[in-house]
Amino acid sequence: MNLQLKQKTIFDDNFLLLSDTAIGLYHDYAKNLPIIDYHNHLSPIEIASNRKFNTLTEIWLKGDHYKWRAMRAYGIEEKYITGDATDEAKFHAWAKVVPYTLRNPLFHWTHMELKNPFRIDAYLNTNSASYIYSFCNDLLQQEDFSSRSLLKKFNVEMLGTTDDPCDLLLEHQQLKAEQKEIVVLPSFRPDKIFNITDQTSWLNYISKLSEVSGINISDVSSLLAALKQRIQYFHEHDCRVSDHGLNEMPSINQLSVSQEAEIKSIINGRSSAAFSDPEALTGFLLFELCKMYHEKGWVQQFHLGAIRSVNTRMLKLTGPETGFDSIGDFKHAKRLVFFLDELDKTDQLSKTIIYNLNPADNEVFATMIGNYNTGGIKGKIQFGSAWWFLDQKDGIEKQLNALSNFGLLSTSIGMLTDSRSFLSYSRHEYFRRILCNLFAEEIESGQLPNDRNWIGGIIRDICYFNVKNYLGFDKENF
C-alpha cells in the first residue's frame, strides 16, 4: 500500500473509547459478536447474484443520500451527485467535500467504511483521492469483495431485506438453496397500498396485487383477502417481520359504508373523484394488517416522523429518496395510544418496534413502550434504535438515555443499518463503541458498579442476544 495511506488517524482500535473500561468492554464483549441486521434496504438481487461492483463510487456513493446532502451543502453541482458525471469525477467531488464534514457523522462513517473492509488508514481528501479510488477499485474485483463476501467480512449472520407484498421472493429462495452462511429473510412492507391520494399509481398497484395474489380485487373485502394471501406467501418463505413508513399513526381504524362504496367505485373505474378520507383507508388497512401479523406471530415495525420529498423541483429532477427529506414535527402520543390500545384491547398486539425521527419526541416514545408490555415477553414493545437523521453519536446517546430513564435499556434489541449500502455495517461497530463508552463513563464516575462481567453481559445482550431471542431467530431453522 502507498505510504501516504499509512497515516496516523483518529480511527484506531480504540476510536470513541475514552477510558480503559470502555476499551475493555468493547474489545472483550461487543467487538466480535455476529450482526443480526433485522431491517435494511439491501437489494436481494445484488446478494443473490453475488454482485461485484465496478468502482468505489458504485458501491459507496450511488444511493447514499447522506453524502449527497453534504455535497449539495458544499456547493457541488448536481451532475457530480446524481447526474451524468463519470464515477471517477463523482468520487473526486466527494473527496473534495470530506475534509469539510468535520463534526458531521459523515466524517466518522466515511473513514470507518474505508478502514473496514478496505484497510485504508488515511484521511480522504483531494491528495489521497486518486490512490484510494484506484486501490479500492482493484480490491472490488477480487472474489472476497463481492456482495456476499462483504457480508461475511462484516460477520453478518442474518439480514432482513425490505420487500413489497407483490414480490415473488425468488432471490430469497435462491439464496436459501445456494448457501447457509448468511440468512437473508424478507420483510413485508405494504406502504404502496395506503397511497390512494395518487389514484393512478394506487390503481396500478391494485391491479398488480390482484394479479400476483390470484384474487380479483373489486372491493375492500377482496383487497383484504389479497393482502392476507400475500402475508401467507411471505410467511411460507420465512418472513417474520413487517415494516411501515408513516408520517404518523392513523387516528381512525374504520371505514364507513359510504367510504367502502367509494373505494369500490374507484377500483372498478366508475369514479375518478379523489377518495374522501385517505387517513381512514390507511387506518383501516393497517389495523387489519396488524391483526393478520399477530395471527402469524410476526414482529411489526413503524418508522414515524419523516417529511419526505419536500423539494418539488428536485423531486421532478432526481426522483424520490435522493436527499430531500426532513424531520417532521408531528403529534405522536395520542395517535400511538389509540392504535396500540385498539389492538391490545382484543389481545392482538404483536411484538412492535416504534422508531422516532424527532429527538424532541424521544421521551414520548420511550414512555409509550411501557404501556403495552406483557408478562412472558421480554421487551415486547421496543423503542427502536436511533434512526436516519439520528443514527449519529449524539442521536444514539440521546435514544439510549431516554430508553434508560423510562424503560429497560437491558432489553433493547440494538442497532440496525436501515441502509442500501453493503459498506454501512460500520454503523453496528459505531453503535457498539458508543454503547460501551456510555456504560464505561458511568462505571468510571461511580454511577454503575465496576463489574465488567455483569455489564459486559448486558452489552452482549443489547448487541446480539436480545434481538436473536426477540425474532425467535435460530440459523438452523432457516
Q: How far apart are CA 460 and CA 466, in angstroms?
A: 8
Q: How confident is the model over 262-282, as a mean pLDDT?
A: 95
Q: Output b/e per residue, 265-303; b: 16+ Cβ within 10 A.
A: ebbeeeeeeebeebebbbbbbbbebbebbbeeebbbbbb
* pLDDT tens per residue, range 460-472: 999 999 999 999 9
Rounded Cα distance, 339 and 198, in Å: 25
Q: How many CB atoms lie within 10 A of CB 345?
A: 9
Q: Are 1 and 127 within 8 A, CB to CB?
A: no
SS3 388: helix
d(CA 157, CA 159): 7
- What pLDDT shows up at residue 271? 87
Q: What is the mean pLDDT of residues 270-299?
A: 96
Rg (C-alpha) for the chain, rounded Å, is: 23
145 close to 25: Cβ distance less than 8 angstroms: no
DSSP state, 13?
Answer: T
Please say if the pLDDT value at position 7 is more than 80. Answer: no
Q: Which residues pair with 304 in a beta bridge?
A: 246, 356
Q: Extract the C-alpha cell encoding 254.
A: 374504520
- Smallest CA-to-CA distance from 20 within 28, 31, 30 is with 28
Q: Is the pLDDT of residue 3 over 80?
A: no
What average pLDDT does the segment 447-460 reach?
98
Mean pLDDT confidence for 440-446: 98
- Cell readout for 363 is 421521551
Please state the φ and ψ torsions of residue 57, each to the nearest 5 degrees.
-60, -40
Q: Strand ranges (DSSP E) for 149-222?
A: 156-160, 183-185
39-49: pLDDT as tens digits: 999 999 999 99
Backbone torsions φ then ψ of 294, nearest 5 degrees: -60, -40
- CB neighbours of residue 197 within 10 Å: 12
88-93: long-range contacts, CB 8 A cutoff, minimum separation 24: 88/55, 88/57, 88/133, 90/57, 90/61, 91/55, 91/56, 91/57, 91/61, 91/129, 91/133, 92/126, 92/129, 92/130, 92/133
Question: What's the CA gap between 443 and 446, in Å, rounded?
Answer: 5
* CB 12, CB 152: distance < 8 Å: no
* Cβ count within 10 A of residue 179: 14
CA distance 353 to 331: 18
Band of pLDDT at residue 5, cut at 50, 70 and 90: low
In this predicted structure, the answer to whether residue 1 has a pLDDT above a threshold of 70 is: no
Of the chain, the percentage scoring pLDDT greater than 90 comes to 96
pLDDT at 6: 64
Whole-angstrom distance, CA of residue 34 vs CA of residue 237: 23
Instruction: For CA atoms 380, 381, 386, 387, give the dihedral sign.
Output: positive
Cell 403529534, residue located: 331
* Amino acid type, 393: K
Q: What is the three-class DSSP state of 116?
A: coil
Residues β-bridged to residue 35: 156
Check pLDDT > 70 for residue 2: no
Q: For position 477, what pLDDT does the model report? A: 79
**Measured between alpha carbons, how far is 136 from 54 in angstroms, rounded to an integer?**
10
DSSP, res 35: E
Domains and CATH numbers, the chain: 52-142 (1.10.2020.10), 147-477 (3.20.20.140)
Instruction: Give the count of alpha carbons within 13 A of 351, CB side only.
Output: 20
Side chain identity at 427, as an amino acid letter?
Answer: R
Average of per-residue pLDDT across 86-112: 98
**Cβ contacts of 36 within 8 Å, gap of 6 or more:** 157, 158, 159, 464, 467, 468, 471, 473
**pLDDT computed for residue 372 by the predictor:** 97
pLDDT tens column, 319-343: 999 999 999 999 999 999 999 999 9
Residue 313: what residue type? Answer: R
The mean pLDDT value of the chain amounts to: 96
Strands (E), 293-433: 299-304, 306-307, 326-327, 351-356, 381-383
Give the C-alpha separation, 71 to 84, whole Å: 15
pLDDT at 242: 98
